[in-house]
Chain A
């Protein structure tokens, strides 16, 4: 039975600093949600409140629609993988991972089996007898991960569980986490700084800024249709251009910007608010021969830098003193100094809100 998690209007203060300013979200049973946001925005604090280590000043946490604010952490059946690892320094790797099973009074044969599976899953075979101080940072992190996963909790809470692993291992373990999570149907909240990780692993991404939730959406939606400048800037690369709303033109709106008047997609129906435009670099297409274009904005610029990235070519050019970035397929041969027209589909020019 998978568990749903609801957070209703949670406010958390440390002294007179309000760290969470009324957070609400709902997570379906078995859903995998990623919290994404800059350092210090309150991600760990939310996990600690859900796990029960912190009491919110206001608001409620519900598991399966039951308020758990007064349920002790050891009765919540969550398993957290700590950002600081928090391994038991006196216990071996094996005993660290076994601890949760012991507390749950799992039969000892089964304990051994499950611990060994977990050790294999995180590539720590043969290190079971080591103490935490005899491990590297990444190895310790994998122990923390195994220790949380092995108990098959109702809710998994990951606080940057892969931050210390190399790219290869990270990708592999990430996939394993996702597989286990799906197979068991464990509701999972996953904190990461790595936006590629967030997009690739989750059902939904929650973008946070400064103690508030800015947007919750599927990876595709949050990338294609970020609701604010902040989200656009933090998830993926984006050209953010200050803008002023003009009049509506059919499906699009006319928007005045320093790089000219553009037709844009007001997907979130933003009005009466300061706005900007978000244009993803890969949505700028160089126009090399004259062709008829429907529903395209055209801007023209002189290439300042052309940077070969292997999988693509990054072009930086100035339009009215405004630096714009375009990512084009790697086969283009474009010299620095050339003046080039770029076409941008109207529906890919997105109106986003600005923070005050």
Chain B
């Protein structure tokens, strides 16, 4: 028994690479960021506790950016999952599903910036979409999809980029539902809609939550796509943060924005989780 206890203690050493990494890069850097927002760790000038930056950070520009980022984050994660579900369900029944899936995965391997430019070419003022719509006389004037006020271009790019990612998660979730469970439902008289409603949706909900959350985190905090295809004002919190730090040298303000991004993310992820738990109970 004694021996067993001892070996167990040594075993903890194996955790050092993981825990050390978490401590050093995640907890430390988060700590530094939060402290910076409170006036510590200044690179130049004095360091010391101050609430001045928190007083300054909540201006109109910040609120506009927060709203914009929330819209992009919630919008793209939700639109993606809504598109993703039927896609994956249909794909399950399609011949050559593996090939189709791997083709659809390609956007995941294209860097966000490159993807952004690719899509911009399509939705630009004189891009294919607009030319086609005008040619078909559906619209008189080309639409302004790129750098438009509402960030529709950004949403389109994010959805394009994230649907495949969610499909990856969702198709493995749906595949992991045992076939005879679906058969049992059919056998008891369930049609395809009842099966989706009673079996597939509830069983894939946890995966869907992960898919939505991951996409939300990515798109809420996105920088590259918003900067290339997003509106000139307001822009994402990430750009605001970068501008404050790089252009104005306001590191403490940036830290405040960073902290707010983190808090918002945690808050929203918690809300998602709560909703999902409720939905699960509902069934």
Q: Is B183 an interface residue (CB 8 A)?
A: yes
Residues of B contacting A103 in the complex (Cβ-Cβ under 8 angstroms): 188-190, 194
- The smallest beta-carbon distance between A85 and chain B, in angstroms, is 8
Q: Is B187 an interface residue (CB 8 A)?
A: yes
- Binding stretch for chain A, among B65-73, B198-206, B210-218, B269-277: B198-206
- Checking B187, B190, B199 against A51 with a beta-carbon cut-off of 8 angstroms, the contacting residue is B187
Q: Give a binary string over A71-88; 1 marks a CB under 8 Å from any B CB, 0 the rest.
A: 011100111101010111
Q: Is B243 an interface residue (CB 8 A)?
A: no
**A74 and B194 alpha carbons, distance in the complex (Å):** 11
Q: Are B203 and A86 in contact (CB under 8 A)?
A: no
Q: Are B190 and A90 in contact (CB under 8 A)?
A: no
Name B202's closest neighbour in chain A (CB-CB): A90
- The smallest beta-carbon distance between A342 and chain B, in angstroms, is 50
Q: Is B16 an interface residue (CB 8 A)?
A: no
**A89 and B194 alpha carbons, distance in the complex (Å):** 16
Residues of A contacting B283 in the complex (Cβ-Cβ under 8 angstroms): 90-91, 95
Q: Give a binary string over B200-242; 1 marks a CB under 8 Å from any A CB, 0 the rest.
A: 0011000000000000000000000000000000000000000
Q: Give a binary string over A42-82; 1 marks a CB under 8 Å from any B CB, 0 the rest.
A: 00000010011100000000000000000011100111101
**A13 and B206 alpha carbons, distance in the complex (Å):** 37
**A77 and B187 alpha carbons, distance in the complex (Å):** 7
Q: Is A168 an interface residue (CB 8 A)?
A: no
Residues of A contacting B280 in the complex (Cβ-Cβ under 8 angstroms): 90
Residues of A contacting B202 in the complex (Cβ-Cβ under 8 angstroms): 90
Q: Give a binary string over A89-114; 1 marks a CB under 8 Å from any B CB, 0 the rest.
A: 11100010001100110000000000
Residues of B contacting A89 in the complex (Cβ-Cβ under 8 angstroms): 181, 203
Q: Is A348 an interface residue (CB 8 A)?
A: no
Q: Are A99 and B187 in contact (CB under 8 A)?
A: no
Within 8 A of A (CB), among B173-191: 178, 180-181, 183-191
Name A54's closest neighbour in chain B (CB-CB): B183
- The smallest beta-carbon distance between A325 and chain B, in angstroms, is 41
**A231 and B148 alpha carbons, distance in the complex (Å):** 79
Residues of A contacting B199 in the complex (Cβ-Cβ under 8 angstroms): 88, 90
Name B194's closest neighbour in chain A (CB-CB): A103
Q: Is A151 an interface residue (CB 8 A)?
A: yes
Q: Are B188 and A100 in contact (CB under 8 A)?
A: yes
Known: A82-B180, A103-B194. A88 touches B187 (CB 8 A): no
Q: Are B186 and A99 in contact (CB under 8 A)?
A: no
- Checking A84, A99, A147 against B198 with a beta-carbon cut-off of 8 angstroms, the contacting residue is A99
- The smallest beta-carbon distance between B188 and chain A, in angstroms, is 4
Name A96's closest neighbour in chain B (CB-CB): B184
- Checking B178, B181, B187, B203 against A74 with a beta-carbon cut-off of 8 angstroms, the contacting residue is B187
Known: A91-B283, A103-B188, A147-B188. A86 touches B198 (CB 8 A): no
Q: Are B178 and A88 in contact (CB under 8 A)?
A: no
Name B192's closest neighbour in chain A (CB-CB): A74
Residues of B contacting A79 in the complex (Cβ-Cβ under 8 angstroms): 187-188
Q: What are 22 inter-chain pairs, A to B, with CB distance below 8 A?
A: A48-B183, A51-B183, A53-B183, A53-B187, A74-B188, A79-B187, A80-B184, A82-B180, A86-B180, A86-B181, A86-B184, A87-B184, A89-B203, A90-B203, A95-B283, A99-B185, A99-B198, A103-B189, A103-B190, A103-B194, A147-B184, A151-B189
Q: Assuming A86-B184, A88-B181, A89-B181, what are 19 further A-B pairs, CB within 8 angstroms?
A: A51-B187, A73-B187, A74-B186, A77-B189, A78-B187, A79-B187, A80-B187, A82-B184, A84-B178, A86-B180, A87-B184, A90-B199, A90-B280, A90-B283, A91-B198, A95-B283, A100-B188, A103-B188, A104-B189
Contact residues of B with A, CB < 8 Å? 178, 180-181, 183-191, 194, 198-199, 202-203, 280, 283
Top 3 A-B residue pairs of the complex, sorted by shortest distance between their CB atoms: A100-B188, A103-B189, A86-B180
